[in-house]
Structure 1
Amino acid sequence: MNLESFKHIFYRMPVVVRLLLAVCVLMLFFGTIIHLIEPQEFPTVFDGVWWAFVTGATVGYGDYIPLTIIGRVVGILMILSGGGMLTFYITTLAAKTINHESDLSEGKVSFNGKNHIVIVGWNERTRQLVEMIADKDANQEVVLIDRTLSELPYRHYPVHYIHGDPSEDAVLVQANIEEAESVMISSDITIKERKADIDTILTTVAVRGNNQDIPINAEILTISQVENAIRAGADTVIGSNDFMSTLFYHELFHKKYTRPFETVLNLLNEQQFSHIKTPEELEGSSFREGVDFFLDNHELLLGIIRDGNWMMNPSQEIILDNDDTLIILSAW
């Protein structure tokens, strides 16, 4: 390797790595020199290198010391050069650590993990979602993409923050979207609903373009944009306005002594819905028999999806077909 090739490789290395290599070479040099000058006091090259490191770090154990004038001159030169470089390396390493934490908080560091959840948009809804994920599974990695936050303290929230526009490929690459497990796109409620839906659809297109197989959950505020979100590649479209309107309706007209909102909230916190095809042993059975079948597994059969029609709590005499999709409620 010629000098130019070495310079090309060396100066492309991170500054901390370059400093560490320089310190090691310098300490090896002085350790070898002192061994050659005073072989009785420094029997091996390693003894000389040990002396160079502890002296340069100003630790000075005193187990090895040069006795001759030439040896002490070498020690002075080592302290003036190697000692300063070793101190500079330690301070640079500390500064790099602090800068890395700052870059994490400011969303400048790319995510290199796998099987993570990507959440787009930071608001009270997604903040609570992050807390719920952390409570359910503390090992689940979450990556947040947002363009409105100037920083998000890494030690305060269990997420890897990426600052930028989620509809841009470079930002999605930073979030390692190709290795992600799923994506949740939250609407920006600080802007007009139609504009927020357009941004959500653009982000959906960008995500689908970078990962053809990833499940995309998109929040849409206006009914007219639901089909566009599906065309863009969203697997699940969440109409938050529709959901809240339905809850409001139940709160206004519910039966006496019932509490619909709190009931739904606690249900979703403790239980999860599953859609499964009719098991072979239930084909031709009644809905009532299906309820008993799933109760034995501590699950609750709620309804049937047949030919695109949802039948919640249908007649107990209805017969289950092999093409039916059963709606099951079970614990997390």
Structure 2
Amino acid sequence: MNIEQFKHIYFRLPVIARLLLTIVIVMLVFGSVIHLVEPEQFPTIFDGIWWAIVTGSTVGYGDYVPLSTAGRLIGILLILTGGGVITFYIALFSAFTVKHEKDLSDGKVAYQGMNHIVFVGWNERTKKLIEITKKHKQKTEIILIDQTLTNVPYQQYPIHFIKGDATDDIVLEKANIKHASRVVITADATNNERQADHFTILATVAIRGNNREVPIIVEILTTNQVENAIRAGANTVLRPNDFISSLLYHELYKTKSKPFETIIQLLANNQLHHYELPKELEDKPFLYVLQEFKKDDCLLIGIIRDNEWKLNPKAELKLIKNDILVTLESW
């Protein structure tokens, strides 16, 4: 490698890498020179390099000391050059750390991991989802994409924030969408329902274009956009308005039922679980399997057969191989 090639490679390195390389070169040079000038005081090149690092970093153990005038002059040059370089490196590294933390909070740092969950949209539902996920799946990495937030303190929220539009391929690449395990898109409460659904569908198209396999769960607010969301590539479409309207109806015409808030709390304190049908329960009626699961305080509410949900099926329905059992359990 000639000097021009070295310069080309050197100046293409990041600032911290260049500075670290400079320190290494300076320590090697001074360590080698002091060994040649005072071989009795510094028997090996390694001893000279050790002295150069200790002196240049201003630690000064005193185990190796130059005695000749030439050696002391080398020491003075080392303190003036190497000491300054090391001090500058430490200051620059500290500034880089502070900047990196700020960039994390501001959503400017790309995510490099895999098998993570990507949330699109920041709202109360997202906060609750993050809280529940971290409570029960502590090792799960969560990536948040949002264009309305200015920053998210990563010390306060255990997530990796990416600021930007989820319909933009560059933003999706920063979230490493190609290696995500699943994606959840929540409706933007700051827009009207139609605008919120249009954004959700566009984001679904963009995500599906970058990852053909990842499961995408979306929240759609208007009925006429459900089919469009499915065409766009959504695997699961949730209609929260229908669910809330149903609860409101039952609350409106309740007799002595519990308050509406209590119903919501009851649902919040339970979660759905999926189980493959055990071999010993194959060809058994639904009622029998329900009773078996209830012994373990699991409420069997339905099955998934051939990707079709069957909630509260008939008691005599025979369960077959590859059926997925859906249960409701306490957190």
TM-score, normalised relative to structure 1? 0.91
Give matches, 1:99-110, under 5 Å: 99-110=99-110
CA distance in 2, matches of 1:275, 1:235: 19
- Contact 2:217-2:234 within 8 A present in 1 as well: yes
Partner residue, 1:172: 172
| Compared CA separation, residues 12 and 109, structure 1 to 2 (3 A) | same
Partner residue, 1:320: 318
Residues 1:299 and 2:298 aligned together: yes
CA distance in 2, matches of 1:97, 1:19: 15
- Contact 1:282-1:290 within 8 A present in 2 as well: no
| Compared CA separation, residues 121 and 69, structure 1 to 2 (3 A) | same
CA distance in 1, matches of 2:49, 2:303: 76
CA distance in 2, matches of 1:105, 1:261: 35
Partner residue, 2:201: 201
String of CA shifts for 1:244-282, please: whole Å, max 9, x gaps. 112222222234142454345334433314376796844
Name the SS of the counterpart of 1:329 in structure 2: strand
Give the C-alpha shift of residue 303 in structure 1.
3.7
Partner residue, 2:328: 329
Give the C-alpha shift of residue 287 in structure 1.
3.6
- Contact 1:56-1:79 within 8 A present in 2 as well: yes
| Compared CA separation, residues 255 and 307, structure 1 to 2 (3 A) | farther
CA distance in 1, matches of 2:32, 2:314: 90
Partner residue, 1:58: 58
Letter in 2 for 1:222: T
- Contact 1:278-1:322 within 8 A present in 2 as well: no
String of CA shifts for 1:159-201, please: whole Å, max 9, x gaps. 0000111001111010001110100001111011101100000
Partner residue, 2:228: 228
String of CA shifts for 1:81-132, please: whole Å, max 9, x gaps. 1111111111111111111111111111100001100000111211121111
Letter in 2 for 1:151: N
Give the C-alpha shift of residue 286 in structure 1.
3.8
CA distance in 1, matches of 2:309, 2:114: 36
- Contact 1:247-1:261 within 8 A present in 2 as well: no
Give matches, 1:15-94, under 5 Å: 15-94=15-94
String of CA shifts for 1:258-314, please: whole Å, max 9, x gaps. 24543453344333143767968443x444323223335553222467899976545
Partner residue, 1:270: 270
Give the C-alpha shift of residue 144 in structure 1.
0.3
Letter in 1 for 2:68: T
Q: Alignment identity in percent?
A: 51
Name the SS of the counterpart of 1:87 in structure 2: helix
Give matches, 1:235-250, under 5 Å: 235-250=235-250
CA distance in 2, matches of 1:255, 1:84: 81
| Compared CA separation, residues 201 and 315, structure 1 to 2 (3 A) | closer
Aligned residue-pair number: 330
Partner residue, 1:183: 183
TM-score, normalised relative to structure 2? 0.91
- Contact 1:278-1:325 within 8 A present in 2 as well: no
- Contact 2:162-2:175 within 8 A present in 1 as well: yes
CA distance in 1, matches of 2:90, 2:37: 29
- Contact 1:115-1:179 within 8 A present in 2 as well: yes
**What residue ranges of structure 1 are gaps of 5+ in the alignment?**
none
Partner residue, 1:210: 210
String of CA shifts for 1:134-166, please: whole Å, max 9, x gaps. 111221100000011111111111000001110
Give the C-alpha shift of residue 225 in structure 1.
0.5
Letter in 1 for 2:231: R
Letter in 2 for 1:194: R
Partner residue, 1:153: 153
Partner residue, 2:287: 288
- Contact 1:251-1:260 within 8 A present in 2 as well: yes
Name the SS of the counterpart of 1:112 in structure 2: coil
- Contact 2:117-2:143 within 8 A present in 1 as well: yes
Q: Cα RMSD (Å) of the superposition?
A: 2.4
Letter in 1 for 2:58: T
Letter in 2 for 1:42: F
- Contact 1:31-1:48 within 8 A present in 2 as well: yes
CA distance in 2, matches of 1:274, 1:111: 30
Which stretch shows the higher mean deviation, 47-56 or 192-201? 47-56
CA distance in 1, matches of 2:189, 2:69: 76
Letter in 2 for 1:127: K
Partner residue, 1:13: 13
Name the SS of the counterpart of 1:145 in structure 2: strand
- Contact 2:31-2:52 within 8 A present in 1 as well: yes
Letter in 1 for 2:317: I
- Contact 2:30-2:74 within 8 A present in 1 as well: yes
Letter in 2 for 1:159: I
- Contact 2:270-2:328 within 8 A present in 1 as well: no
